[in-house]
Structure 1
Amino acid sequence: MNDVFTHYWYPIIAAFHQGKSALPAHLGLSCDDYYQLTERVGLLPIATHALPQYAALSLRQELIGMRDDELGELTQLLTEHLDTRKPYAEQMAQVLANASMGSQHLWRDLGMPERPRLSQLFHDYFPTLHALNNHNMRWKRFLYRQLCESGGDYVCRSPSCETCTSYEECFGEER
């Protein structure tokens, strides 16, 4: 098994430091968790106000704050499927929920180098969700579909993915 710190946390934190993610200040974590994780992966913690993308982070935090209920529902969904034996498992659920607030594919909003690594992250941290995504739907769409099916206020566009006119958007090749 890959070391979760080098395989998942390092690229997430490095991308955040470089302004290549849609994560809010401190990855959406408490300052303490952010600093501990950053040091654990061997990076120097950077104060949010010292990051070049500080203005964008502040705006992102404000926008996420307006979607607080949605963030809570995503965090709860992820937490329900979490393998709590993994290091910093609850923090991963928080980070993924915050990244889901971004406007691109989840792997990009998270700062991962490619989608297969995000799928492996779901396999390792959220094994029951990974198993439910048996048609390899894009992860952000899959999460929102789960919220929709659990009775949330989210639009489920089609009762059957196979008949949906947006099928390629969910399952087609990413560009």
Structure 2
Amino acid sequence: MMDNVIQDYWQPIIESYQKGQTALPLYMGLNQNGYDALLLAMGLESVTLSLEVESKLQLRLELLNMRIGELEELEKLLVESLNPDVTFGSEMVTALASACLGSQHLWRDLGMPERPRLTALFRDYFPLLHAKNVNNMRWKRFLYRQLCENGGDYVCRSPSCEECASYSECFDLSAK
């Protein structure tokens, strides 16, 4: 599974990150040593980021630090569902929670090539959350919905999703 984890999940995330095409902060939310160790363990090379990309990543890190409570709640939610047998699980928790603070769909903010790959990532890394998402809700909305249901300070806009005017924005109806 190690090769699949690298090829299917980490490689596109890291490649997109290194091109500045994610919402991830500097070092993907990890510290520099953690980021370097992740690349080394995967046999991937660190690339020198352009000054423009590096300053953008630094800004994202500063913005992320302003929302640290939210980040910690997301990390806690993810850790509770983390598959203990998966490779680089704590690193994925950090990267995924950091990407949730972006403004686009989670698969784009994380740097995945398409949403089904993100769904597979949830299946492999966070099987309990994957199993709960029976209606194929978009992942970022699903995570925040979970935080809301767990008593967080997040507004749940509708008491019943089926009655909500944004239903089609949250759920991928084409996948059924």
Q: Give TM-score, length-normalised by structure 2.
A: 0.93
Q: For residues 126-157 of structure 1, what are the alpha-carbon distances to aligned partners after superposition, in whole Å with 9 as ceiling and x for unaligned?
A: 00000000000000000000000000000000
Report deviation, 1:51. Answer: 5.3
Alignment of 1:15-164 (within 5 A): 15-46=16-47, 50=50, 52-164=52-164
Question: SS where residue 45 of structure 2 aligns?
Answer: coil
In the alignment, structure 1 segments of 5+ residues that lack a partner are none
Report deviation, 1:62. Answer: 1.0
Q: Structure 2 vs 1, CA of residues 19 and 152 (structure 1 numbering), >3 Å: closer, same or farther?
A: same
Report deviation, 1:42. Answer: 3.1
Q: For residues 45-88 of structure 1, what are the alpha-carbon distances to aligned partners after superposition, in whole Å with 9 as ceiling and x for unaligned?
A: 2366x554112111111111110000000000000000021111
- Farther-moved stretch of structure 1 (111-120 vs 84-93): 84-93
In the alignment, structure 2 segments of 5+ residues that lack a partner are none
Q: How many angstroms apart in 2 are the aligned matches of 1:97 and 1:47?
A: 25
Give the letter for the 2:16 counterpart.
A
Q: How many angstroms apart in 2 are the aligned matches of 1:7 and 1:121?
A: 8
Q: For residues 97-154 of structure 1, what are the alpha-carbon distances to aligned partners after superposition, in whole Å with 9 as ceiling and x for unaligned?
A: 0000000000000000000000000000000000000000000000000000000000
Give the letter for the 2:32 counterpart.
C
Q: Give TM-score, length-normalised by structure 1.
A: 0.93
Q: How many angstroms apart in 2 are the aligned matches of 1:142 and 1:94?
A: 17
Report deviation, 1:31. Answer: 1.5
Contact 2:136 2:172 in 1 (8 A): no
Give the corresponding residue for 2:4: 3
Report deviation, 1:173. Answer: 6.0
Report deviation, 1:159. Answer: 1.1
